[in-house]
Amino acid sequence: MSVAVASAGARPTARGDNPGMQGAKRRWIAHLDMDAFYASVELLRYPELRGLPVVIGGGRRHQPVMQSDGTRRFARLRDYTGRGVATTATYAARDLGVFSAMGLMKAAQRAPDAVLLPVDFDEYRRYSQRFKAAVAEVTPLIEDRGIDEIYIDLSEVPGVHEPLGHDRHGGVRAVAQEIRNSVARATGLTCSVGVTPNKLLSKIASELDKPDGLTLLTLDELPTRIWPLPVRRINGIGPKAAAKLAALGITTIGQIAAQPRMALVEHFGRGYGAWLHDAAHGRDERPVVTHSEPVSISRETTFERDLHAKADRAVLAAIFTELCEQLAGDLQRKGYVGRTVGIKLRFDDFRTVTRDQTLAQAIADSAEIRRAAGTCLKRVDLSRRLRLLGVRVGTLARAGQRAARPGDQRAGSEHAAAAPADSPELPFG
Ligand code: DCP
Ligand code: MG
């Protein structure tokens, strides 16, 4: 499985109001999250699987096969052997206890008859772009939070603060519903939306009626709708904080809210303690950040079995080349060039090492990336077997900002100083 990670370094372009200020506009922020996203995209291709337990994970060897009678033969989870994990599962499979990040062998114990489909990131990325474009047609203030979720600032949408019939919040509800309809029309997929005065609450709210739900909450409803929920529902309370809270006898958001601010600060420090207090009281003034530039773009892959630099040299070299090609594709598609090239290796003992180097000039070409990454590779002791290999390009700039010259595509030779093309052989180059 190969995962593209674009780490986004958010550069806030303020769209937030200051709710503390007199006369400031009330905010309505939506959080939209696609339902069982990868699985739902697959069901568009294979409608005969609708309603069945389906798990997405593993490699191409589980690709369905068309049979002579015109029906498809699907791989079953029970036949799976390997180290792949489930990226997601349909709700029917979740009912059997299969969840994201679960090992496929373990999932097979719970749902042996479930259909197993390989991951197709390119297809999910296409649908991701499509649903975001559909939302943008309704309103443009969108913060991208990854492949299947976004925040949307609805505060300025015409009519959003108006009632509709008996419904005091009819205006905003109608806009949120229009967004959901627009996504469904453009993609054939359902999503769940939470609408509240801020991002923190909307993120919680979008999960309350999943799948295919719309949940609108005001601050008045905090005690009834939010406080009974477990602390982990707050985005920002991870397993460690939850364990520490549990040790203090605190398991619900309401129990956090009932704590004096100072008590939380005492236990959790000034920053996090105060944040916990604010969060539990539904306070969050973060703006919707409509524009962010990635800090780096990377591709990595975990091997089906551990590979050794010498014994599996050819396989590794091919994977390495493919990663660089995919990464170059990502860069070119997104319109970036980068000046830092790095590698990430994870060994069979789970130790992870990274190396990088900064070039004289930004690149986006796969051969140039491979050459630079290869140089980094030579700085690592490769006596142990490898589990994972990744390549990253950082210090990004917009491709257009580089002075365009004729023959720019083939500017490789200019980087020879940083990463000599004729360098002595790479460890698996
Ligand atoms: N994903 C993944 N590995 C994980 C979690 C998620 O690869 N550990 C992928 C698969 C999901 C997608 O990201 O389809 C979106 O993640 P979500 O957490 O939103 O999960 P789903 O969209 O699948 O389900 P839900 O309906 O709960 O949102
Ligand atoms: Mg989702």
Question: In terms of DSSP bridges, do strands 54-57 and 292-307 run parallel, antiparallel, or are they unpaired?
Answer: unpaired
CA of 214 to the centre of ligand 2 (A): 14
CA of 357 to the centre of ligand 2 (A): 36
Q: Give the pLDDT of the chain (429 residues) as one tens digit per residue.
A: 333 333 333 333 444 434 444 445 799 999 999 999 999 999 999 999 999 999 999 888 999 999 999 999 999 999 999 999 999 999 999 999 999 999 999 999 999 999 999 999 999 999 999 999 999 989 989 999 999 999 999 999 999 999 999 999 999 999 999 999 999 999 999 999 999 999 999 999 999 999 999 999 999 999 999 999 999 999 999 999 999 999 999 999 999 999 999 999 999 999 999 999 999 999 999 999 987 677 889 999 999 999 999 999 999 999 999 999 999 999 999 899 999 999 999 999 988 899 999 999 999 999 999 999 999 999 999 999 999 999 999 989 888 764 333 333 333 222 222 333 333 356 775
Residue 101 CA, closest ligand 1 atom number: 8
Helices (H), 102-198: 104-110, 121-138, 170-187
Provide the Cα torsion 224, 226, 230, 236; round to 10°.
Answer: -170
Q: Which CATH superfamily is domain 294-415 in?
A: DNA polymerase, Y-family, little finger domain (3.30.1490.100)
Task: Identify the residue whose C-alpha is closest to ligand 1 atom 7.
Answer: 87
Query: Which residue bears the tokens 């023959």?
Result: 407
Q: Report domain extents, the chain.
A: 38-120, 229-284, 294-415
CATH topology of domain 38-120: MutS, DNA mismatch repair protein, domain I (3.40.1170)
Question: In terms of DSSP bridges, do strands 115-117 and 54-57 run parallel, antiparallel, or are they unpaired?
Answer: parallel
pTM value is 0.71
Q: Where are the beta strands (DSSP E) in 53-172?
A: 54-57, 65-66, 72-73, 75-76, 86-89, 115-117, 142-144, 149-153
Residue 148 CA, closest ligand 1 atom number: 15
Ligand 1 pocket test, candidate residues 32, 55, 88, most atoms within 8 A of CB: 88
Ligand 1 pocket test, candidate residues 35, 91, 98, 100, most atoms within 8 A of CB: 100
CA of 34 to the centre of ligand 2 (A): 4
* Structural class in CATH, domain 229-284: mainly alpha
Amino acid at 106: K
Task: Identify the residue whose C-alpha is closest to ligand 1 atom 24.
Answer: 36
Residue 425 neighbours by CB under 8 Å, 6+ apart: none
The residues lining ligand 1, judged by C-beta closer than 6 Å to any ligand atom, are: 33-38, 87-88, 100-101, 147-148, 210-211
| C-alpha separations of 423 from 97, 211, 338, 378, 417 in Å | 52, 54, 22, 11, 11
CA of 86 to the centre of ligand 1 (A): 10
Measured between alpha carbons, how far is 429 from 386 in angstroms, rounded to an integer?
15
123 given a catalytic annotation: no
Task: Identify the residue whose C-alpha is closest to ligand 1 atom 2.
Answer: 87
